[in-house]
């Protein structure tokens, strides 16, 4: 089947769906590889840094470009000293250092959303062509009409075939990213405990969380 015949079969909406599918495949492969490398590098580096009780934590993490290592390092040496809410700091730094992954996930979700719409658009355009044929021709050929309707519905099938796997991949990757965030929080607390004697930090955070509702009650009495 030549390109001209394929274009006649799927139309402009089908071509757009092929491009969208290629983009989704590329983003999926890139994100999976990125997350695998990030996870392996993070665990290797952070376990090595924590192995000697955190005495050389700065030296063993300094200059490391792994985004999760950057999150923990900045919490320990920068943000942890002026914030009572370590989880909020981790969430901010997580979003900052994993911006490429966040962008990739947004594009995957967009692809999953627009693929069925593009398929529906192709079907509508195909049905318009079928009804134009009916209006022009006096003698209708049922076989020709059936062929035209089949071609019109093909783009809907293409859109669903693209959207369903991409949506499944999106949620699987989302669960993995949430797991990374939990690991970043856990190792941030552990690193603070090792490097700064983190008990005061944990007690400070607990005290701040306990005093917040009390202060709010005093304010509104």
pLDDT at 221: 37
pLDDT at 134: 78
Question: Structural domain of residue 179, as residue ranges?
Answer: 9-114+170-214
pLDDT at 81: 64
Assess if residue 124 is contained within a domain: no
- Residue among 176, 174, 198 nearest 186 (CA): 198
Assess if residue 147 is contained within a domain: no
Instruction: Show the tokens assigned to 57.
Output: 């934590």
CA torsion 63→67→68→69, rounded to 10°?
0
Assess if residue 153 is contained within a domain: no
Assess if residue 39 is contained within a domain: yes
What pLDDT tens digit does each residue of the chain (221 aa) get? 677 877 777 888 889 999 999 999 999 999 999 999 999 999 998 888 887 776 778 888 888 889 999 999 888 888 666 667 888 888 899 999 999 999 999 999 999 999 999 999 988 888 887 887 777 776 667 766 776 787 778 999 999 999 999 999 999 999 999 999 999 999 888 888 887 764 444 445 555 455 555 444 544 33
Assess if residue 161 is contained within a domain: no
Chain Cα centroid distance, residue 174: 6
Assess if residue 1 is contained within a domain: no
What is the tally of structural domains in the chain?
1
Assess if residue 137 is contained within a domain: no
pLDDT at 106: 97
Query: Rounded distance, CA 75 to CA 84, Å?
Result: 11
Assess if residue 4 is contained within a domain: no
């Amino acid at each position: 089947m030549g390109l001209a015949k394929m274009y006649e079969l799927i139309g402009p909406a089908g071509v757009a769906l092929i491009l969208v599918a290629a983009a989704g495949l590329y983003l999926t492969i890139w994100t999976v590889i990125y997350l695998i490398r990030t996870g392996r590098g993070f665990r290797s580096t952070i376990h090595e840094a924590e192995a000697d009780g955190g005495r050389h934590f700065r030296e063993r993490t300094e200059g490391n470009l792994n985004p999760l290592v950057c999150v923990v390092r900045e919490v320990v040496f920068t943000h942890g000293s002026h914030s009572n809410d370590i989880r909020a700091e981790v969430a901010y730094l997580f979003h900052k250092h994993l911006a490429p992954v966040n962008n990739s996930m947004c594009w995957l979700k967009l692809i999953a959303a627009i693929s069925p719409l593009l398929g529906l658009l192709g079907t509508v355009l195909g049905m318009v062509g079928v009804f134009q044929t009916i209006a022009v021709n006096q003698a209708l050929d049922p076989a020709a009409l059936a062929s035209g309707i089949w071609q019109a519905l093909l783009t809907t099938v293409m859109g669903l075939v693209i959207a369903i796997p991409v949506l499944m991949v999106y949620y699987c990757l989302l669960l993995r990213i949430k797991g990374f965030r939990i690991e970043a929080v856990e190792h941030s607390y552990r690193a603070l405990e090792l490097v700064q004697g983190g008990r005061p930090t944990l007690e400070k955070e607990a005290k701040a969380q306990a005093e917040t509702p009390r202060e709010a009650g005093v304010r509104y009495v």
